[in-house]
Amino acid sequence: MAAKKPARYGMVIDLDRCTGCGACMVACAIENNVPPANPEATERTGITWMRVQRLGNGRPFPDSRAVFFPILCQQCGHHTPCVAVCPQNAVEVDAATGIVDQMPQRCLGCRYCMAACPYHARYFNWWDPAWPAGMEKTLNPDVAPRMRGVVEKCNLCHGRLHRAQAKAAAEGRREITAGEYVPACVEACPAKAITFGDLADDQSEVAQLARSEGAFRLLEKLGTESKVYYRSERPWVHQAVKSGIGKEPQRG
Amino acid sequence: MDRSYIARGLDRCATRRFLMWLLPWALLLAFGVYSAGLCLVKGLNQTNMDNRFAFGLWIFLDLTVIALGAGAFFTGFLVYILRMHELKAVINSAVVIGLVCYSGAVTVLMVDVGQPLRAWFTFWHPNVHSMLTEVTFCITCYLTVLAIEYLPLLLKNRRLRQVPSFLVFEFELHRVMYVLAGVGTFLSFFHQGSLGGLYGVLRGRPFAFREALGVWPSTFFLFVLSAAAVGPSFVLLTTWLVEKIAGHQLVERPVMQKLGRLSGVLLIVYVLLKAIDTLVWMNRTTPAEGFSPQQFYGFEPFGVWILFAEIVVFGLLPAVILLDARRRRSQAWLLTAAGFACAGVALNRFVMTIQTLALPTLPFDRFLSYWPSWQEVGTFLAVVAYGVLVYSLSYRYLILFPQERDLKAR
Amino acid sequence: MGLGRRDLLKLMGGGAAGLFLTPVPWRLIDGVAIRTENWPGVPDPPRGEVRTRYTTCTLCPAACGVRARSVVDQPVSLAGVAAHPTSAGVLCAAGLCGHHLPLLPSRVRQPLARRGDKFQPVPIDTVAAAVAAALEDIRNSGSAERVAVLDARPGRTASLIYRRWLGTAPNGIYLLAPSADSSASLGIDIARTGTVLSFGAPVLDGWGTPGRVLEARRSFRLIQVETRQSRTALLADGWLPIRPGTEAALALGIANVLIAEKLYDAAAARSASDFAEYAALAAEFPPQRAAELTGLPAQTIVAAARDFVGHGTAVAVAGSDPGAGPMGDGERIAIAALNVLAGSIGREGGFLPRGEAPRPPGFEEAALAPEHGIADAPDASIRVLIIDDARAAGAWCWSAIERKLARAHIVVALTGSLDGAARHADFVVPAPAYLEEVEDAPAPPDVPAAMFSLAGALLKPPPEAVDGVDFLNRMAGGGAALADVLKERVAAIHAARRGEVFHYTDGARTAVSDVKSAEDLWKALEEGGCWIDRRPAPKQEGRVTILGAAADRVLEAASGRLPADALYPLALVPYGWRGASGGAVSPIMTKLYQESDVETGGDTVELHPDTAQRYGIADRQVAIVQTRCGSCRRRVRVDDAVMPGVIQAEVGPSASGNCRPEALLDACGVAGDGTWRLARASLRRA
Amino acid sequence: MFPWVNGFKWDVGHVVFLGAFYTVVMIVLATVVRAVLRSRRHFRAEKVDAIRWRQDFHDLPARDRRCRHELNGEVDSRLCENAFDCRSCAKHPEFERAAAARTDLPKGELFGFPMPLDRLYHRGHTWVRKEQDGTLSVGLDELGARLIGKPERLDLPEPGRHVHANGTGWSAGRNGSMVRVLAPIEGTVLATGGPDQGWYLKLKPDTPKPDTRHLLRDAEAVRWMSRELDRLQLLTTRGACPALADGGALVEDLGAALPKNEWAAVCGEMLLEP
């Protein structure tokens, strides 16, 4: 059979469905052995590969409205900001999947990539990863925890991809089928707000959603060709995203 | 009792007095080493940096210090390549300053990275497209070069030169100095530049991102230029400072004025290009990325004033003063202008590092504030103390200002 | 010729130099690089055979199906069971990290007795003896003091056993934990519902069975009546931000419009015995008055009323916030009445009566102590209080329970971890934690059909663990263990031959009648399955009463819960999140309340910018919230989604330490109707 | 880093970048190695003394590097270019010819300062005297002697060693610091004396008729000496301490008269050691 063209895994997040329950964040942390926040950690020193932000419409009560914005590595497909800057090739875009891979074991913790990432989707291990005594045994065997002093980020659940590929290989298949590989956040979302799949495959639901009315990407003009799309029917959301920075978000 | 180490005919204070002078700096160094130790042992959670403010005080000061240290390569370039022999009067001092600045900066960088033990991976698995790789390679090479340039000064010490092999080696080293100066210039050009590129390439930070000229963003060249411009100014300032502390003249005034003029010329060119660059950035780069420049200056305290201060107050103004021969002749004007020039470059580095990170990029971001922790400050103070110590010792036991003895004789 | 030391050194030097021209040192360095890339010093996840096992979540009444990925026997991640009849493959954030609960630092592993404000280990028999003695004392003295079981998860087989025991115990009384959804006999046919008018119910945020509700979300209109801009309010089709505590007023206002505009279901109204009385009460709340009370524009109320009945079957649901506790009866009734007007009771898409899984012999209703709310127990009456699973029911205002205790009393808490209400107990009995015991989960409160799921034990409980039934048996000196009773119940289900079994393992369904033996049924349920009764046919009730004897309570509720108070001008509105407000949570939850915008955290209050300004408090400053009943320190978050004059306070875990909701809830104080979801408060900068 | 290391790509970027890097490393390395090798060679060739003098001379302040003919007034201002070795000086013969008509015969003393003219003077305040046996005796002139006075330590070359003109003849220690004395002429050491003998070295000249053009003789020497006395005067008065006792006669032992530091500095100045 002819070699299938490389996949471009991505997702569309429906902001009108996201209830901001945080299940994706929890599922992500458990799947990827992300440690709980250190007691001294602040909202800016914790590690959340998947992080639900809140975007308000900036109008006062009772007209105020908000959406929840799950932010994860946007898997930039072009000019990938973090890849070019890493001094020692610890970040690379996997040609076969389009996934931006971070190799914590190669990283020296210079944090240049964090400065480079406009989506703030990269996190630094400010502390040694620590779980309450005895809770280490609940760690996911497919993912190695990261050491202090290195940068990490979402890799669309590497462990799961490998598991799916291993399974396919065991069954003598070259390719994994659509449903076989689904990141933890997608699986966990109670509102089914996240659609995941291969954007390169025009027939896939995700590709169609990405093209659909109301779909957009963050900082599209940077030309990073990110593979995480958002969609919303609400005009003010598009307005707020377009107007970009400039006004303090209302939420303290 | 350390007389026999001090070159004949140089006025140096009594040993006890010298030790008294060293003591506070030594204490400062000890404190700094302690805070740096905390950062290394307990990790970078000791700092106030965070995922959003990934770079802080250290990177800002590294950039500044390296810019100021540019005097070493630039003076070397002028003396050995362009054969401006009158500048020999300060070349030794410049080399020591360079050595201090670079070694200090590199040390702080070692503390700044999360896994210092892996720093050498940058050499082993280099990503040649990363500005940081360029910086790392060039700075380490240049630091080596500086060390070699420093060696003759050291071997020329009155006691050491009694050792015949030292004497001969110093003699030979001195003869190849122009090669090292050339290499140093080459390396400095690239790392000063790539330090600018460091931020200029950040497509994701529209405030810092600049159009590329060839493989480098415009900031690459602006940094080279500003560093070269401010190098002599800093040498000038330090020389003056040392004269004040030592209590006697070390360099002939014309030399100082020459330094000032060089600074002035380069500075005016820099200011010009900087202004053009800013205009291009405002009207082309930023809009293309979907932002409007006003947005960036909408967050207090970083208003438009900072741009004005950087380009006019600390750029144009000192340049004009330094270019005016009459003003140059007045010590006060000369030094003020030099001071302003240095401040200007420091401000530029501040804007590039701190303001860039403080600004939001996404609609739900906040404008961030950051204040260094005492560990961060301490670590930096260690570098300052280290610098003062190395310079003081060099000044006492080595011949940093060849004109000193003659000036004394007059 | 001799080889001098000098030559030797030269040789070595040359050799060393030469070595660098060979690849050897470089290869070595490369080796070091690769070695140092795999740095040790971080926890090494235990490896082993990976299995998939199934169970049912018992952390809340939703009883979602759980697929557990286990390494050998240790679950390392939990997920929903696809196509599960009610949970539809969904687990909430709390459920996803349930496997951490047995490992919490606050885990209780042996029986504890209170000494002052510390706890010390004691033998379980000491506890049993102490309680038995108290019982004996009541029996002999013939006093009116009560023996009570406070059940955080009613409707379980264990609950039946408690009730049977209380039936025999002296002055036994069975109490439903505050804010626990009672085992109500009505479920909602949400898939067919046209409009949901929610009075503070977190409909899209862990209400009922999340999977089921969210799956149906696209098909129903949601009107959220809530002071706070909750997540549900954000996603609702309409948000009616009413003044705190004016739900009843709005309900009657809407009723008023419905009646005035003849928008109500006449047949349903006729079936109500006291419709006239209710109509009269509603008549006192024309839109104008309702508007004054609720702070909504009158036309909004009118529009809401029309909207309510305008899109197919309409249901009105009363919320009970996991953090704030239940609503008062007055509100409940006023809101329930709307369902009568909308005629949604016993109709497709409305409330459907549902049965219960067949009970084993000996558990006929007559033999059991009846269910009561805490308010029903007279103050200072309870001598022995046994709390089952203190952490499950969300946050409690301890003083609401405390006031019911006799002067001399014994409080025994059966709990997996020492948090929530358990911290107030005299004795703590180490109950098996989640995933550690075979138990049953009853039908979720919102599901219109009877259900029965088994939660298989994936983990071994600590050796000294004692479950509630076991504890009773120890006092009574023997009796059937929970597992045996469960087997009996499964046998009863099998005997009834009704409904079908859904298998988690393969998503298949088998009719009970096709299951050979009770043992097979048990096996099927234990390895992951649930029994669902056949859907009851919709049928209108015969005669219903709307207000019953509660007319005055409704009126009281409707005239507003928060009278103006010059000293305490602000309204304190506590709120929480399901699965976290009750007690300590998995450390992973820090992601939610500390490292994202999802939760503000249990150490914060939210204020409208104007309110903050009026009290001279800036964002992120610390303030002290003062009420008549107490005070607490909180960090202020300024958020202009908050109603002016309102203090929103989250009840739950926080960055600054574990979850201790009492401070705030006790500050709220217990109102006349036994609730604590509101209070007048004032604010000052700390 | 290297083709076999993980992450290396044969693309333009890598080749150019690493190429540049290795070039730089090579250049630096080569430069240093060259310096090392050359200095080893000098070392072998016993050029150390020559180099040291060249360095010293280079570091001398301009006023101490005047050409001898300037002192003679045969040229108004000229800096010596040959490190005081007139034998290799192109211009020296011309000056000599011009000054052939030097007639004035000086007397052997200067303000009561003995200046025997049977010997040739070196600008480092040493003298050379040809003996009948064809050897050369070398000693400190009066000024040098009084400057150093009684040395506490004396490092004389052991007999058989070869000394170079302008190389280190010997060094004397006084007041805790050493001062080196330039050898006026090359030769092999036959015997060593000291302050008491009046001479320090007996040398066997390299050639039977040693070339002594670079040494000062007769009037020239006297003129030079008087200037040297002025210099000394200048130096010592700057330190405001009595160098010249009554009637302008030089004190016997400057080493004792001057404070240590002053003395060291003065020695350096007078004995041409920077």
Would you say residue A247 has pLDDT above 70? no
Instruction: Tell me the chain D residues in contact with residue C33 when contact means C-beta distances shorter than 8 Å.
Output: 5-6
- In chain D, the residue whose alpha carbon lies closest to the alpha carbon of B5 is D177
C3 vs D173: which has the higher pLDDT: D173
Interface contact A46-C100, CB threshold 8 A: no
The answer to whether residue A23 is domain-embedded is yes
Task: Report chain D's mean pLDDT, rounded to a whole number.
Answer: 84
- Strand residue runs (E) in chain D: 120-122, 126-130, 136-140, 153-155, 162-163, 168-174, 177-182, 187-192, 201-204
What CATH code would you report for D109-270? 2.40.50.100
The answer to whether residue A129 is domain-embedded is yes
pLDDT band at C60 (very low <50, low <70, confident <90, very high): confident
Would you say residue C686 has pLDDT above 70? yes
pLDDT band at D238 (very low <50, low <70, confident <90, very high): low
pLDDT in tens, D122-149: 998 999 999 888 899 999 988 888 888 8
Residue (of D67, D51, D203, D234) closest to D126 by Cα position: D203
Question: What pLDDT is attached to residue D87?
Answer: 87
The whole-number average pLDDT for the span C556-574 is: 89
Angstrom CA distances, C124 to C118, C137, C166, C459, C468, stand at: 17, 20, 21, 22, 12
pLDDT band at D103 (very low <50, low <70, confident <90, very high): low
Peptide bond into A62 cis (omega under 30): yes
Would you say residue B259 has pLDDT above 80? yes
Would you say residue D245 has pLDDT above 60? no
Domain span at A86: 9-243
The whole-number average pLDDT for the span C37-66 is: 86
Determine contact, residues A88/A151, Cβ cutoff 8 Å.
Answer: no
B16 touching chain D per CB within 8 A? no
Subunits close to D (at least 3 CB pairs below 8 A): B, C
pLDDT in tens, B383-394: 999 999 999 999
How distant is the Cα of C557 from the closest Cα of chain A, in angstroms? 24
Select the residue of D6, D48, D62 nearest B125 (Cβ to Cβ): D6
Would you say residue C39 has pLDDT above 80? no
How far out from the chain centre does Cα C13 lie?
76
What's this model's pTM, rounded to 2 decimal places?
0.90
pLDDT band at C391 (very low <50, low <70, confident <90, very high): low
Residue D14's CB is within 10 A of a number of other CB atoms, namely: 18
Residue B309's CB is within 10 A of a number of other CB atoms, namely: 15
Angstrom CA distances, D227 to C65, D63, D68, D99, D270, stand at: 111, 12, 11, 19, 11
Instruction: Tell me the chain C residues in contact with residue D2 when contact means C-beta distances shorter than 8 Å.
Output: 26
ipTM: 0.89
Task: Report chain B's mean pLDDT, rounded to a whole number.
Answer: 92
Lowest mean per-residue pLDDT among C198-207, C413-422, C465-474, C618-627: C413-422
Would you say residue D247 has pLDDT above 60? no
The whole-number average pLDDT for the span D162-171 is: 88
Instruction: Tell me the chain B residues in contact with residue A15 when contact means C-beta distances shorter than 8 Å.
Output: none
C153 vs B268: which has the higher pLDDT: B268
Question: What pLDDT is attached to residue C184?
Answer: 65
The whole-number average pLDDT for the span B67-90 is: 92
Lowest mean per-residue pLDDT among B14-23, C30-39, C566-575: C30-39
- In chain B, the residue whose alpha carbon lies closest to the alpha carbon of C37 is B118
Question: What pLDDT is attached to residue D113?
Answer: 77
The answer to whether residue A250 is domain-embedded is no
Rounded distance between C-alpha atoms, residue B20 and residue C3, angstroms: 53
Rounded distance between C-alpha atoms, residue C79 and residue D114, angstroms: 112
Select the residue of A86, A108, A149 nearest B44 (Cβ to Cβ): A149
Rounded distance between C-alpha atoms, residue A85 and residue A83, angstroms: 6
pLDDT in tens, C77-87: 999 999 899 99
Determine contact, residues B336/B359, Cβ cutoff 8 Å.
Answer: no
A with B: how many residue pairs have Cβ under 8 Å apart? Answer: 178
Interface contact A21-C206, CB threshold 8 A: yes
Interface contact B124-C29, CB threshold 8 A: yes
3-state per-residue secondary structure call for chain A: CCCCCCCCEEEEEECCCCCCCCHHHHHHHHHCCCCCCCCCCCCCCCCCCCEEEEEECCCCCCCCCEEEEEECCCCCCCCCHHHHHCCCCCEEECCCCCCEEECCCCCCCCCHHHHHCCCCCEEECCCCCCCCCCHHHHCCCCCCCCCCCCEEECCCCHHHHHHHHHHHHHCCCCCCCHHHCCCHHHHHCCCCCEEEEECCCCCCHHHHHHHCCCEECCCHHHCCCCCEEEECCCHHHHHHHHHCCCCCCCCC
The answer to whether residue A248 is domain-embedded is no
Rounded distance between C-alpha atoms, residue B334 and residue C453, angstroms: 87
Question: What pLDDT is attached to residue C38?
Answer: 60
Provide the pairing of β-strand D153-155 with A9-14. Answer: unpaired
pLDDT in tens, B96-113: 999 999 999 999 999 999
Instruction: Tell me the chain D residues in contact with residue B187 when contact means C-beta distances shorter than 8 Å.
Output: 24
How distant is the Cα of D167 from the closest Cα of chain C, in angstroms? 30
Interface contact A54-C204, CB threshold 8 A: no
pLDDT band at A1 (very low <50, low <70, confident <90, very high): very low
Question: What pLDDT is attached to residue B76?
Answer: 92
The whole-number average pLDDT for the span B358-373 is: 91
Q: Where are the domains of chain D?
A: 1-45, 109-270
pLDDT in tens, B294-336: 888 888 888 899 999 999 999 999 999 999 999 999 999 999 9
Residue (of A125, A9, A20, A131) closest to A68 by Cα position: A20
Total tally of structural domains belonging to chain A:
1
Subunits close to B (at least 3 CB pairs below 8 A): A, C, D
B with C: how many residue pairs have Cβ under 8 Å apart? Answer: 10
Instruction: Tell me the chain C residues in contact with residue A33 when contact means C-beta distances shorter than 8 Å.
Output: 45
Tell me how long chain B is.
410
A89 touching chain C per CB within 8 A? no
Rounded distance between C-alpha atoms, residue C53 and residue C514, angstroms: 24
pLDDT in tens, A120-173: 999 999 998 989 989 999 999 999 899 889 999 999 999 999 999 999 999 999
D79 vs C290: which has the higher pLDDT: C290
Select the residue of B52, B289, B367 nearest A120 (Cβ to Cβ): B52
Question: What pLDDT is attached to residue C108?
Answer: 92
C605 touching chain A per CB within 8 A? no
The whole-number average pLDDT for the span C357-367 is: 90
Task: Report chain C's mean pLDDT, rounded to a whole number.
Answer: 89
Strand, coil or helix: B93: helix
pLDDT band at B94 (very low <50, low <70, confident <90, very high): very high
Mutate to test the interface with B, among C35, C36, C42, C598 (most CBs of B within 10 A): C36
Select the residue of B8, B127, B134 nearest D268 (Cβ to Cβ): B8
Question: What pLDDT is attached to residue C35?
Answer: 67
- In chain A, the residue whose alpha carbon lies closest to the alpha carbon of C78 is A27
Would you say residue C180 has pLDDT above 60? no
Interface contact D6-C30, CB threshold 8 A: yes
Question: What pLDDT is attached to residue D196?
Answer: 85
Instruction: Tell me the chain C residues in contact with residue D33 when contact means C-beta distances shorter than 8 Å.
Output: none
The answer to whether residue A84 is domain-embedded is yes
Question: What pLDDT is attached to residue C393?
Answer: 53
Rounded distance between C-alpha atoms, residue C502 and residue C511, angstroms: 9
Q: Which CATH architecture has domain B19-409?
A: Up-down Bundle (1.20)
Interface contact D2-C26, CB threshold 8 A: yes
Instruction: Tell me the chain D residues in contact with residue B3 when contact means C-beta distances shorter than 8 Å.
Output: 176-177, 260-261, 264
Instruction: Tell me the chain D residues in contact with residue C23 when contact means C-beta distances shorter than 8 Å.
Output: 4
Domains of chain C: 50-103 (2.20.25.90), 112-181+355-496+499-532 (3.40.50.740), 187-353 (3.40.228.10), 562-685 (2.40.40.20)
The whole-number average pLDDT for the span B210-217 is: 88
Query: Any idea what the CATH number is for the domain that residue A34 is in?
Result: 3.30.70.20
Instruction: Tell me the chain A residues in contact with residue C598 when contact means C-beta distances shorter than 8 Å.
Output: 20-22, 25, 52, 68
